[in-house]
Amino acid sequence: MPILLSPDQWRAQAQAHTERARAYTEPFRQRRARQETHPIYDFLFTYYSFPPAQLERWHAGPGVVLLGDDAVAERSGWRFYSVVEDADGRGTPGVTVDAAGFMGARERMVDFADTIFSSVAAKPGSFSCFGLHEWAMAYKSEENGVRHDYVPLRLGSSGTDEVVETHQIRCTHFDAFRFYAPQARGLNQFTPTREKQIALEQPGCLHAGMDVYKWLYKLAPLVDSGLIMDAFELAWDTRIMDMQASPYDLSDWGFEPIRIETPDGKAEYVERQRGFSERSQKLRRRGLDAVAAIRAAAG
């Protein structure tokens, strides 16, 4: 039997979710209106393809019916929603997500999320990369430029190059590797490709943990928005550390560096990396439960 949410219940949940999301989306909108950029806080809205308005929109997920004419008026036109004419046996209409329709249109995405969540969740984490992917992107910056050209390099160009050249780079994440400076590609222990993504992805990788957010929002509206926000906030926190460990000097932005070129910096990086890995693994397991719920609801 589906869970029935009264108008007061679902409106309260929707409002709470929107307020939670707007703590992040509103400052981003304000920066855009002022034509300002932020090297850390903008990333989740510019790199990922989930618009702020979509992040703010609450979905209950499968097996839940939102009761009332307001729910029907608001959501009956939303993609992958369907109207329930008599939701409570007393003639009250409602809306619910259309799991069968979603599976018909997005089955490959559901399958991929299932595969990547289960594959990475079953692996041990690797904790010896020290965030050098960001340094590899800034390698030979005098020739290639840098992605964040309004933020100085903490060690300068030559100092950044020296860190790259005196460390073993072990990045397993294709969507980081593809942004490497051309001269840094051959210095990486692995050669990640899209085809190798499932094989190489592992739970110690910060960017793999951030991408849990991506795989979950691609399942919206068939995933509870609370889970998507939990993944967003993991990605938010991870991005802060990712840039603290980068070659960029973010002191003017209020962030102290994690000096991964030093033993103490490496130790700090690994300690925090392990914490993010644990959080991402919990979210992957919840993601697998969400995928199972989609399949069950689709029949």
Which residues, at least 6 apart from 67, have a Cβ–Cβ distance to it below 8 Å? 4, 5, 6, 7, 10, 87, 88, 92, 93, 94
Q: pLDDT value at position 149?
A: 80
Strands 94-97 vs 81-84: parallel, antiparallel or unpaired: antiparallel
Domain limits at 283?
3-298
Q: pLDDT value at position 105?
A: 98
Q: pLDDT value at position 126?
A: 96
pLDDT, averaged per 10 consecutive residues of the chain (299 residues), comes to 95 98 99 97 97 98 97 96 94 97 98 98 97 96 79 96 97 95 96 96 98 98 98 99 97 97 98 98 99 96
Q: pLDDT value at position 5?
A: 98
Q: pLDDT value at position 196?
A: 96
Domains in the chain, number: 1
Cβ burial, residue 186 (10 Å; 0-12/13-18/19+): exposed
DSSP state of 94: E
